[in-house]
Each structure stands twice: as C-alpha cells, then as structure tokens.
Amino acid sequence: VSEGHMNPEHLGPYIEKILHDNRFEITFKIRPFGRDAFWEKVKEFEPFNHESIKISRESSPEAFINCDIVLGSHSTAVLEALTIGKPIALINTPKWGDYFSISQSNKRSQFWIDSPESVVDSLIKIVESNNQETINEMAGDYFGQGSASEWILKTLSNL
C-alpha cells in the first residue's frame, strides 16, 4: 500500500526478501486519483522498479480482493483489508515502528513483522493460519461492529 510518509529505503529490504521467493507476487497499491508522490519517490529505488511488481490504481477493496494478504506499516488503507476479511501484515520501520501497537497483543502479534529477515516466513504463516476470527475482531475494533450507527449507539451507551 502506498504510504506517503514512509521512507522507501525502510521498505526496500522487506520487498527484496519477498521478491526473492517465487511463491509471492507483489502488487503495489497506489492512490487511485492523480499523481501518487510516494510511488514516484519509491520507484527510483531498487527493488521497486523490478519488472515483476504489478501496480494497482483501483480502490482499496477492489485492489485487495485479489490479494492473499495486504502489507504496510502505518496506513489505515492496510486496515481496510480487514473489512473484506483479508489478512494483513504490518512491518516494523525505523520511522513508524509498531504504529497500531499490534505486537502488544497475543492474538494480533501474528500480524506483526519485526524484520525483513522474518518477512517471508511470517507472510506464509499469516496466510496459512487464515485466522478469520481475529481478522473479523480487528475489523470490528477499527471500523465498528455491524452498522456504524448501531456501533456508535452501543459504544456511547457503554460510557
């Protein structure tokens, strides 16, 4: 996922590890409207100009529907994948660290990737575990349960 305030050099080592494993295909989701400044900056760096990386300008749900997993560091667009039942992986970067504090939870820490060295094994483990219960729980926590109005009323009544 295109993350505007991310340093491409921090993401590069993760992408390199993924590209060297033929079990993966990478689709880079960039912003659908106009020029994506992050992508313009990123594609200047190896390995982002690799010919096997596909580009998607679709909306997040449309782009994510064909993916097995959505990877990012701090973008709420990554979290949007949860709303359609897709697993996510959040990576550690010097600038953003564990932005959503996902590594602090026993159940959710499986979606946290601490280093490029562990990215391939972690991605495979996340996809194979297909932990829909936790994915749905996270979607509810970040975006609310049921309809938005029901969730707001329930949350307010619990205050």
Q: What is the pLDDT along the chain (159 residues), one digit of tens a residue?
A: 555 556 677 888 888 899 889 899 888 888 777 777 777 777 776 666 667 788 888 888 888 888 999 998 888 888 889 989 999 999 998 888 888 888 888 888 999 999 999 999 999 999 999 889 999 998 888 887 666 666 677 777 787
User: Is 2 within the bounds of a domain?
Assistant: no
Q: Which CATH number covers residue 132?
A: 3.40.50.2000
Give the end-to-end CA distance of the chain in Å, rounded to a whole number.
35
Q: How far is CA 115 from CA 8, 14, 152, in A?
A: 15, 8, 37
Domain for residue 1, yes or no?
no
Residues of the domain holding 96: 8-157
Looking at the structure of the chain, the number of domains it has is 1
